[in-house]
């Protein structure tokens, strides 16, 4: 069970009350805790990438999280030992738990997990665990060590996916992030944006994602799963709960969180796209070179000059000069 602070013992009070904050440099992840029941009303959509990757939170958890993060923000904005909390290059490693300054609001801090570090630019890619999304090109200077009490508090944003559907138009592996269907994903986001939501939890994947039926209220009560099927944005499928080898951590053999696997997969897809573009550029350069060679070859036609030297007699001497 994740540690929960009482009203008298907050992370801020615990940290300020000690001369040396207890920094957590060794953890490789956060604890996720779901308070979704079989049927749950009054849930909000924290973030949504596509129908197989969105995060929900109950209203009660949202209230608790607001209080928790206000205390965490207060600590990191007022910390008198801020330099000690700056993360050095040597301390960076994949899955490191940390805190990152928000890219828009400089006085807001987000709990994060390091996905990748780029030493040439001194920037990172991070999973923002409570928001349920990743962020790229984050300067290392925006990172801070996380205190143990802040790391121990569970993540209350629940990873979910719509049950029983797959994208109607796919390129390779029936994955929403592979598809050239941005309009379909935009439709999904518009349907669930800023409206009352309810959820029916059907099952849970080994990677921690919940298979759900999601309901929203516009003019009428709508099942989002059925809405996508009706508009042929999705097709019905049987959900597969067996994970592929690439969905497992090669070191621990534990399942990746679905969103971390998607981050890794997107990197692979971008690498494939980059290679395809490079091959296309090389092919275009080759054709252009061949065309230039052909053009130069056509311009090298023999140039002949006839020199006619008349004599007094009827004979002529003709030179052909090339």
84: domain CATH number is 2.40.50.90
Mean pLDDT of the chain: 82
Residue 271 pLDDT grade (very low, low, confident, very high; cuts 50, 70, 90): low
Above 80 in pLDDT, residue 256? yes
Mean pLDDT of 169-177: 65
Residue 290 pLDDT grade (very low, low, confident, very high; cuts 50, 70, 90): confident
Residue 164, Ramachandran bin (φ over 0: left; ψ between -120 and 50: alpha; else beta): left
Task: Choose between 320 and 135: higher pLDDT.
Answer: 135
User: What's the domain range around 176?
Assistant: 11-251
Q: What are phi and psi of 16, to 5 degrees?
A: -70, -30
Tens digit of each residue's pLDDT (9 = 90 or more) over 26-70: 888 899 988 888 999 889 999 999 999 999 999 989 889 999 999
The DSSP call for residue 246 is G
pTM flag (> 0.85): no
Identify whether 287 is part of a domain. Answer: no
Q: Hey, how many other C-beta atoms are within 10 angstroms of the C-beta on 160?
A: 27
Residue 84 pLDDT grade (very low, low, confident, very high; cuts 50, 70, 90): confident
Distance CA 145, CA 88 (A): 10
Return the C-alpha torsion angle 38, 43, 48, 51, nearest 10: 30
Tens digit of each residue's pLDDT (9 = 90 or more) over 202-240: 999 998 899 999 999 988 999 999 999 999 999 999 888
Distance CA 12, CA 68 (A): 10
Distance CA 187, CA 259 (A): 21
Q: How many domains does the chain have?
A: 1
């Amino acid at each position: 069970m994740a540690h929960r602070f009482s009203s008298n013992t907050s992370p801020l009070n615990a940290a300020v009350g000690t001369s040396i904050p207890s920094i957590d440099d060794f953890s490789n992840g956060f604890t996720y805790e779901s308070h979704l029941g079989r049927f749950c009303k009054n849930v909000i959509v924290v973030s949504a990438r596509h129908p197989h990757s969105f995060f929900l939170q109950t209203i009660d958890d949202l209230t608790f999280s607001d209080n928790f993060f206000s205390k965490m923000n207060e600590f990191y904005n007022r910390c008198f030992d801020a330099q000690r909390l700056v993360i050095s290059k040597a301390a960076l490693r994949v899955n490191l738990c940390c805190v990152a300054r928000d890219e828009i609001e400089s006085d807001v801090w987000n709990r994060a997990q390091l996905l990748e570090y780029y030493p040439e630019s001194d920037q990172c890619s991070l999973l923002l665990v409570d928001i349920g999304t990743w962020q790229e090109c984050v300067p290392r200077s925006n990172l801070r060590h996380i205190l143990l009490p802040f790391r121990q508090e569970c993540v209350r944003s629940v990873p979910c996916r719509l049950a029983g559907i797959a994208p109607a138009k796919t390129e390779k592996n029936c994955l929403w992030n592979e598809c050239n269907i941005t309009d379909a994903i935009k439709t999904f986001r518009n349907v669930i944006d800023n409206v009352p939501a309810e959820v029916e939890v059907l099952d849970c994947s080994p990677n921690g994602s919940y298979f759900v039926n999601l309901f929203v209220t516009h003019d009428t009560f709508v099942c989002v799963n059925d809405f996508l099927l009706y508009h042929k944005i999705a097709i019905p499928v049987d959900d597969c709960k067996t994970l592929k080898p690439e969905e497992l951590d090669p070191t621990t053999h534990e399942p990746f969180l679905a969103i971390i696997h998607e981050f890794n997969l997107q990197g692979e897809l971008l690498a494939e796209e980059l290679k395809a573009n490079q091959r296309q550029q090389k092919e275009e350069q080759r054709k252009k070179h061949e065309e230039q060679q052909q053009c130069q070859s056509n311009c090298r036609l023999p140039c002949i000059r006839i020199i006619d030297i008349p004599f007094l007699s009827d004979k002529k001497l003709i030179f052909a000069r090339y």
